[in-house]
Amino acid sequence: MKFLLLVLISSAMAAKEFHTLDVLYSRVPADAQQRTVTALIQRVVGARASQFKAIVNPALAPNRIDTFHLVSENGTLDIPKELPKLPKSGVTVSANDRFRYYQNVCTVSYSFVWYKWEDWEKQLDWMALHGLNLPLAFTGQEAIFQRVYMKMGMTMKDMQTHFGGPAFQAWSRMGNMRGWGGPVTQTWLNDQLILQHKILDRMRALGMIPVLPGFAGHVPEALSRIHPKANISQLGDWARLHPKANVSRLRDWGRFNETYCCTYLLDFGDPLFKEIGVSFIKEMEYEFGVDHIYNVDSFNEMKPKSGSAEYLQEVGSIIFDVLQTGDPDAIWLMQGWLFQDKQFWQQAQIKAMLTSVPEGKMIVLDLFSEVSPIYTYTESYYGQPYIWCMLHDFGGTMELYGALDSINTGPFEGRNMTNSTMVGLGLTPEGIYQNEVIYEFFMENVWRKQPRDITKWISDFTRKRYGKYNKFVDLAWQYLKTSVYNDTDHLHDNNIDIIVTTRPRISPAIHQDVWFDPEDLYAAWDLLILSADQYKNNTLYQYDLVDVTRNSLQIISIEYYNKMIASVMINKTEDFLINSRLLLELLNDMETLLASDSHFLLGKWIAAAKSWATDISESFNLEFNARNQITLWGPRGEILDYACKQWSGLLKGYYIPRWQLFVEMLHISVIDHTKFNETLFAQIVYEKVELPFSNQLDDYPTEPIGDAYVIATSIHKKYRNMIDKEFFQVYAAQSRKVKDNRNMIEKKYGLNAPVYDILVKT
């Protein structure tokens, strides 16, 4: 019997410079972890699981940094039928850092919200296979808060006006708003609590250290009824309570109306703050056990009432005191996202907050390191340990996007900086299920000892992803590497002003930031089409083909939109009709394309939401939550299209009707030679398309329709001829570097003509 012996050396002890973090380690016995890993291998590998043996041995790790050791016994094999050949002594690899953090506080709402245990089990398997050991564990906390508050005399109705609906709980937890999407039912709260037990049990059994929530001060309005003398304010009310204040320093998050905005904040110095905070930790310990690390963010996208160093030091010391009173070994984990507000959080304010906590008793997530790092100008967070994070995605949107160069070198720069306090890497996207290549590349930084040759890595990635090597597929991904995955303009939010998913407008014109040369994207598209016949049974190739085709159509839509708007400006009715027709036709073709792959179906999102319902009323509200989050995001579009998705069904039922209405109203303006009324359109499109969509109950397919390969090939044939030199001249990045990269790629792969010309001849 030939098999590979896999030895896992698991540890959770801290780096030498922060022995305060020694309290963070897995308390599950090694043999129990070993059984859990063996079961994971069975789920992932299936029939070949007998070829693997897992051993968990905490004693073998250097400095107790997580390590794995691979050896093969009784011969060697080669993938895919055989396992990789190893030296006789085996291979030992240690992690670079102590921690690998996972999740943004928004991820649980944008991506995990409808997860059943089966979904969580797959997600946890993925986490373990990528070396993540410090995951956020926020599920079910509402039931614990309910227990604390109802002991104080509050009612279920009080809870329902405070907790956000199922799809919006991330933001009510952070104090950004309250009650929207509710009322939550007791069944939902109970079910989430049960689910959290399973999540925590599995995380711990896999050697992970779950990060549980702490009390940040956001309280139900009812607290002021029960304790009328308590010092309670509303986060969005601070400017109104201080007439001389600079109003621009504080805003109502998302501009929600008074029903949902202005979460109540209990003053940090009020005795109730400590009472509630300690009670919450004790209730969590009673329910779940303890792991000694808690996430607390009192001012996520909300400004404190004062920027004085004294006030911020007081706030920080009180929060930590509450954590330590509830759990003497407590470590405070803070999202560093609040420091992105550089107008308020200048160095003095940041230092005051961070130094209010004993050194090493706080870990800061440098949440957006790949684009906007904070550690670089705060002396490595003024001595507090921090984690270098890749945020990457906002709202779970689907743009082909990445910053490969930044995530290739950035972690090493952070780690090697003078007096660096970096203790780990973090993966912090607001939403997942997109751009898998970026996540695979980033997570290899856990083990890699130096930046990689990205070109070589991409070649290896294509072979591993599809199971075999193909020169043209490799070349396609090299073009993607130098274009969509080579953002160098420090784009902060790449999902803004996408023609397909943005509410139509004429002034200001929709202007998508295209940071790459579209010619490279279309060369990749050409090559994936060219090789499609060789991968017809490969689901990963199908997904990538649909995804690249989708993004290619999205870029082409810019051309149609711009020409349509230009024709309006000069009152050319015929040109307007031609280009508006082309735009609508493209959107319908995109709908057909997306319907052909299971990863792009609105129906699956809605069905997952409704699967939690116990009666018809709850089913209606869950579907409303699912629909509203990805469209209006609020009662009147307060965060309109922030979490937009390019899904089949969503185009058909929401984006296309919106564009059709825009074209109809714009056509009238062109014929009448009148100025287009943007305000009137916004009102009508809200009443006729956007709000009705949130409340509709019509069904959408949960299974794909059509042959994705045939549809993608047909779309490529239809639109590729329309992309002429003028298109590239308008949108192409004209830098010498881009042209040099393309020339280098084409030379390496022996091309003596543009890719599309080769495809046509083929």
CA-CA-CA-CA dihedral for 168, 171, 177, 183, to nearest 10: 30
Query: Residue 699 is part of a domain; what is its CATH number?
Result: 1.20.120.670
- Regarding whether 164 and 84 lie in a shared domain, the answer is no
**What are the pLDDT digits (tens) for 320-347?**
999 999 999 999 999 999 999 999 999 9
| DSSP-H helix ranges across 236-327 | 238-241, 271-288, 309-326
- Regarding whether 341 and 220 lie in a shared domain, the answer is yes
Q: Does 701 fall in a domain?
A: yes
Q: Does 463 fall in a domain?
A: no
Is residue 109's pLDDT more than 50? yes
Q: Does 745 fall in a domain?
A: no
**What are the pLDDT digits (tens) for 345-374?**
999 999 999 999 999 999 999 999 999 999
Averaged pLDDT, 316-321? 98
Is residue 220's pLDDT more than 80? yes
- The confidence score (pLDDT) of residue 753 equals 55
- Regarding whether 299 and 362 lie in a shared domain, the answer is yes
Boundary (domain end) residue, out of 94, 109, 137: 94
With CA atoms as reference, report the closest residue to 256 among 359, 318, 180: 180
- The confidence score (pLDDT) of residue 748 equals 64
| DSSP-H helix ranges across 63-185 | 107-110, 117-129, 141-151, 156-162, 169-173
Q: Does 49 fall in a domain?
A: yes
Cβ atoms of 14 and 97 within 8 Å: the answer is: no
- The confidence score (pLDDT) of residue 16 equals 43
DSSP string, 8-68: EE---PPPGGGGGGGG-S--S-HHHHHHHHHHHHHHHHGGGGGGEEEEE-GGGSGGG--EE
| DSSP-H helix ranges across 363-485 | 379-382, 404-416, 436-443, 454-466, 471-482
Higher pLDDT, 567 or 249: 567
| DSSP-H helix ranges across 327-470 | 347-354, 379-382, 404-416, 436-443, 454-466
Helix (H, G, I), strand (E, B) or coil at 128: helix
pTM of the prediction?
A: 0.93
- Regarding whether 233 and 148 lie in a shared domain, the answer is yes
Q: Does 742 fall in a domain?
A: no
Cα separations in angstroms, 203 against 48, 64, 134, 136, 206: 24, 19, 9, 10, 5
**What are the pLDDT digits (tens) for 253-263?**
778 888 998 89
Cβ atoms of 681 and 662 within 8 Å: the answer is: yes
DSSP string, 708-733: HHHHHHHHHHHHHTT--HHHHHHHS-
Which H, E and C letters describe 97-118, residue by residue?
CCEEEECCCCHHHHCCCCCCHH
Distance CA 367, CA 103 (A): 10
DSSP string, 523-534: HHHHHHHHTGGG
Amino acid letter, 144? I
Upstream peptide bond of 62 is cis (omega within 30 degrees of 0): no
Strands (E), 125-281: 134-135, 212-213, 218-219, 232-234, 264-266
Q: Does 752 fall in a domain?
A: no
Query: Residue 362 is part of a domain; what is its CATH number?
Result: 3.20.20.80
- The confidence score (pLDDT) of residue 474 equals 97
- The confidence score (pLDDT) of residue 414 equals 96
**What are the pLDDT digits (tens) for 693-745?**
999 999 999 999 999 999 999 999 999 987 766 766 666 544 445 555 666 66
Averaged pLDDT, 199-225? 97
With CA atoms as reference, report the closest residue to 554 among 507, 521, 509, 506: 521
Boundary (domain end) residue, out of 50, 67, 94: 94
Pairing of strands 99-102, 134-135: parallel
Amino acid letter, 637? G
**What are the pLDDT digits (tens) for 139-174?**
999 999 999 999 999 999 999 999 999 999 999 999
Residue 75 CB: number of other CB atoms within 10 A? 12
- Regarding whether 397 and 256 lie in a shared domain, the answer is yes
- Regarding whether 506 and 384 lie in a shared domain, the answer is no
Cβ atoms of 719 and 554 within 8 Å: the answer is: no
Distance CA 387, CA 336 (A): 10
Helix (H, G, I), strand (E, B) or coil at 345: coil
- Regarding whether 192 and 55 lie in a shared domain, the answer is no
- Count CA atoms closer than 13 A to 323's CA, side-chain side: 30
Upstream peptide bond of 304 is cis (omega within 30 degrees of 0): no
Which tokens belong to 563?
Answer: 């020409």
- Regarding whether 702 and 561 lie in a shared domain, the answer is yes
Amino acid letter, 320? F
Distance CA 676, CA 681 (A): 8
User: Across-strand partners of 99?
Assistant: 424
- Regarding whether 267 and 185 lie in a shared domain, the answer is yes
- Regarding whether 314 and 226 lie in a shared domain, the answer is yes
Confidence of residue 70 (pLDDT cuts 50, 70, 90): confident
Q: Which residue do the tokens 């959408």 mark?
A: 700
Longest dimension (CA), the chain: 83
- The confidence score (pLDDT) of residue 150 equals 98
Q: Which residue do the tokens 């940090």 mark?
A: 268
Q: Does 762 fall in a domain?
A: no
Is residue 457's pLDDT more than 90? yes
The DSSP symbol for 298 reads S
Higher pLDDT, 16 or 562: 562
Please report, rounded to a whole number, the percentage of residues in the chain having pLDDT higher than 70.
89
- The confidence score (pLDDT) of residue 74 equals 64
Cα separations in angstroms, 698 against 612, 623, 624, 628: 18, 10, 12, 14
Cβ atoms of 637 and 690 within 8 Å: the answer is: yes
- Regarding whether 512 and 419 lie in a shared domain, the answer is no
Q: Is the sign of the CA dihedral 556, 558, 561, 566 positive or negative?
A: negative
- The angle at the Cα of 503, spanning 497 to 504, to the nearest 5 degrees, equals 90
- Regarding whether 553 and 426 lie in a shared domain, the answer is no
Amino acid letter, 388? W
406: phi then psi, degrees, rounded to nearest 5: -65, -45
Question: Domain range spanning residue 34?
Answer: 19-94
- The confidence score (pLDDT) of residue 258 equals 86
- The confidence score (pLDDT) of residue 404 equals 96
Boundary (domain end) residue, out of 32, 60, 94: 94
Is residue 102's pLDDT more than 80? yes
- The confidence score (pLDDT) of residue 86 equals 82
With CA atoms as reference, report the closest residue to 1 among 53, 61, 56, 51: 51
Q: Does 159 fall in a domain?
A: yes
Tell me how many domains the chain contains: 3
Higher pLDDT, 245 or 505: 505
Q: Cα 77 to the chain's mean position, in Å?
A: 37
Is residue 484's pLDDT more than 70? yes
Averaged pLDDT, 462-479? 96
On average, the pLDDT of the chain sits at: 91
